[in-house]
Structure 1
C-alpha cells in the first residue's frame, strides 16, 4: 500500500508554526493594538509597588472594589485585595457553586534590579554614590554604563511616606554605574564573566558637586543630601526605613524594522501579568469564580508575606469558601491554575544551550511548560498529563496558537516558578507564558503576537467548561 507522505505527516507529526502562518492580517493587527496597552503598563510599572498601583487603577475603572478578609461576596462581584502595596489578588465571583473550583492565573510582578542598602550614601574620589544590593538573578556586567532610574518609597520616622520616581521623565536626571575603560581593563578582561563586576562595585553615581564649592570632607555627599532634603524633606537617617530600587531608565520600545517585537525592562514577568490581568477584566462575566494573583518576591524564592508562599493565598481561599458556605478543601481540589511565567525563547546566537526540539520559538505562540526545575527536575511541579490534555483541548477549541517548551538543555542550568507553591495546595497547576529573549537583562525582548496569544489563552482558560 502506498501512503501519501505529505497527508500522513499532517495527520501524525507535530510541528510548531508561527502565529503569522496561522492567523490572518486582522488578527495580527489586533495583537499589535493590544501590545500598545501592554507597553503603557510596562512604563507605569517599573517595580512591584508601581505594578500594584497601576493594576488597581485599571481594576477600579472596571468596577473592582477593595476586599478585606471576612467581607461578604456576591455572585457577579468584582474584588481586589491589596497586600501591603506589593502584591495583588483580584477575583470575580461566578454563578457556579464555589465548590466547583476557582480558575486561578498567577503571575509575579517583581523583576531583577538593584536595591539601595540601608546606609547607601557615601563620597569618594570627587563623586557621591549609593551602595546597592542586587535583587534576583542579574548578570552584573549588564548593569554598568547603563542609564538608570530610582523608584520606591521612603517612610519617615513620623510614619509619613514619600514616593520617589526619578529618571523616567525626559527632564529628570538619570543615574549610572561606572565601568572600566578598555585601556586599563586587561586584568578585568581575564576574569570569568560572572566575576568581572563584583556586586560590591555596583555603586550608583548620584553627584559630583560640593556644597558651596568647598573641598571639605563629605561636601559632595552633603550637597546630595541637601538636594534630597529640599525635594523630599528626608534626612540620611530616613534611608533606614526606605525601599528604593534602581532600574533601567528607558521606556518600552518597538524592536525591528517591522515593529513586531517589544524591547523593555521587566518583561519577566509583567508580560504574563498584564494578559492575566486583562483576561480577568474581560472575562468577569464567566460562570466560574476567577482569581488573578500578582505576586511579589518570585525572583528571590517567593518568600515573605508578599510572596507566593505567604499564607494569605490560603486565607483568601478559605474566606471565599466561608462566604459561600463551601468546603475550602473541596474548593482547592476542584480548582485549576495557570502559573503565568515566561520561558526562554530559542536564540540562534547561543544555540549550544538550547535543545531545539523542546525549546519555544519566538512568534510561535504562548508556551505550555510541563516542568521547570534543574538537573533531575529538582524543585519542579511537573504537571499531570491529564491536566495538560484538558488545556490542549481548551486552547485548540479557542484557536489559541501555543507550543510546548522547556528551559534549555538538561544539566545546562534551570529555573523555577510559583507553580510548585500553588500545586502544594492540591490545585492542578501548570506553567504557561510568553517566550523571552535575553531574560533577566536590563532590556528583554518579546514578540507582540506571543503576548496576544497569552491573553487569548488566559481568556479561554477563564471561560472553558470543566
Structure 2
C-alpha cells in the first residue's frame, strides 16, 4: 500500500477516534475549520460575508454547513459546488431514565436502537458512553460534550451451554438481550448519575437532560499482510465525511461557491430540523445569495447551475456471499470511488450527473466503480434525493466500498479514502458550466 493511501487511512482513523457521536463529529470539524481561518456564523445572528471569505454554520450541534466564496463570484453568474455526507451512525441510545436495577444487585442500562444496527456485533466487546449533557448554569442551560474514556460496559452473550441455538438462530430481543451491564452490585443509580455529571464537569443536580449513546471502544486498525484493509466503527459515513472535509479544506475555486454539508439523522430518515430533509442547506444558500446582493431570480439561476455530490458508503462484494451483489454492477475494496444508481430513485444519479462526475474523476485520474442493488433487493436510501426535495439541483450519489455496513466494526479498503479525497478535490477545483441537462463544459485541473 503506497504512502499516500496509508497516510489518508491513518488520518481517517484518528478522525473517527475523535468522533464517537454526531455532536463530536461537528465539534471536531469546527476545530479544524477554526484553525483554517473560517468564520463561524450562528444561525440566529446576522451574517456578514464577502467574496474570498470562508464561513460555516451549525444546527443542533450535530449538523454543519461550511462554504468558501470565490473572489470572482457575482450574483448573476454564481453557482454552488456542494458535497454532502452524514455525521451519525447506527448505535444504541440511552433512554432518559436508563438505569435498570436487578436482578440480584445487577445494574443494567435501558437502550433503544438508533438506526439499522447489526445487533449481534455489539455483544462481548468493550463499550462506553458519549453524547451531550444539558447543564443548568447562570439561570439557564448549556450543552456540554461527554465521552467517558474507559471501558465501561459490556453486553454479554448467554453461554452456549444455556442456549444451544446461539449458532443456528440467534435473534436478540432488544428489550431483553441488549441491555449493557454497568455493575454487579457495587454501584447504584446515583453513581451512574454522578458519573455522567462528572464527565460534563458538573454536579448531578445540575444535569437537566442527556442525549447519550453506546460507543464501541475497539480502536480502528489498518490490517492485513499487505496493509490493504482499514476497519473501525462508524466508517459509514465518517469515511466519506472525513474525505469530503479534507478535500474541501484544500480545494479552491475562484468562480464558484464551494459548500460542505454534513447532516445528522441520516440513519433514522433525515426528517429532523438538522437532517437532509430539513431547510438547513436551502437556508444557507438563500442567505449567502442575499448577502452577496443577489435577487431571488439570481438564486433560482444559481441553483440551476449547481451540482451536488452526495457521499455515503456502498456495499462491496462480500467474500463469502458474492451472490448477494448484482452481477454487472458490483464494487470491490481498493478499486476507487463508487457511483450509485437505482431505478427507484433512492439515489439521485442519472445519466447526466453520472457523466459529469465520472468525467471529473477521469481528469483527476481517479478510478470509478458502478454500483446497483441486485434487482430483488430493496437497498437503502441516502442524502441526495432527500436534500434535493428542499433545494433541487443536478446531483450524483457516490461512496466508498465497504463490508459489514452497520456493524459495530466495519471494514473498507485502505486505498479508497485517498481516492475519495482526490476525486472531491477535483470536483471543487475544476471549472464546470452546466446548460440544463443537455450540456456540461468541464475544464482542466
TM-score (normalised: structure 1):
0.85
Taking a change above 3 Å as real, the CA distance of residues 224 and 83 of structure 1, as seen in their structure-2 partners, is: closer
Taking a change above 3 Å as real, the CA distance of residues 181 and 286 of structure 1, as seen in their structure-2 partners, is: farther
In the TM superposition, what are the counterparts of 1:324-343 in structure 2 within 5 Å? 324-326=292-294, 327-343=298-314
The equivalent of 2:85 in structure 1 is: 107
CA shift, 1:152, in A, is 1.2
Structure 1, residues 307-363: CA drift from partner, whole Å, max 9, x if none? Answer: 111112111111011111222211211110000110001112122211232011111
Structure 1, residues 27-57: CA drift from partner, whole Å, max 9, x if none? Answer: x321211222211101101111110011011
> Could you tell me how far apart the structure 2 residues matched to 1:382 and 1:225 are?
45
Which of 241, 249, 272 does residue 273 from structure 1 map onto? 241
> Could you tell me how far apart the structure 2 residues matched to 1:244 and 1:359 are?
37
In the TM superposition, what are the counterparts of 1:42-441 in structure 2 within 5 Å? 42-69=16-43, 70-94=46-70, 95-98=72-75, 99-125=77-103, 126-158=105-137, 159-166=141-148, 168=149, 172-186=150-164, 191=169, 193=170, 195-210=171-186, 220-225=188-193, 227-228=195-196, 233-235=202-204, 238=207, 241-326=209-294, 327-371=298-342, 377-378=343-344, 380-407=346-373, 409-424=374-389, 425-441=391-407
1:41 aligns with 2:15: yes
The equivalent of 2:437 in structure 1 is: none
> Could you tell me how far apart the structure 1 residues matched to 2:24 and 2:94 are?
17
Higher-helix-fraction structure = 1
CA shift, 1:91, in A, is 0.4
CA shift, 1:156, in A, is 3.3
Taking a change above 3 Å as real, the CA distance of residues 417 and 199 of structure 1, as seen in their structure-2 partners, is: farther
Unaligned runs of 5+ in 2: 433-445
SS in 1 for 2:151: coil
TM-score (normalised: structure 2):
0.89
> Could you tell me how far apart the structure 1 residues matched to 2:10 and 2:269 are?
31
CA contact (8 A) 1:210 1:221 kept: no
CA shift, 1:97, in A, is 2.7
The equivalent of 1:17 in structure 2 is: none
Structure 1, residues 96-128: CA drift from partner, whole Å, max 9, x if none? Answer: 335431000000010000100011112112211
The equivalent of 2:440 in structure 1 is: none
> Could you tell me how far apart the structure 2 residues matched to 1:267 and 1:230 are?
30
Larger radius of gyration: 1
CA shift, 1:230, in A, is 6.0
> Could you tell me how far apart the structure 2 residues matched to 1:446 and 1:156 are?
39
CA shift, 1:155, in A, is 1.3
SS in 2 for 1:73: coil
> Could you tell me how far apart the structure 1 residues matched to 2:292 and 2:195 are?
54
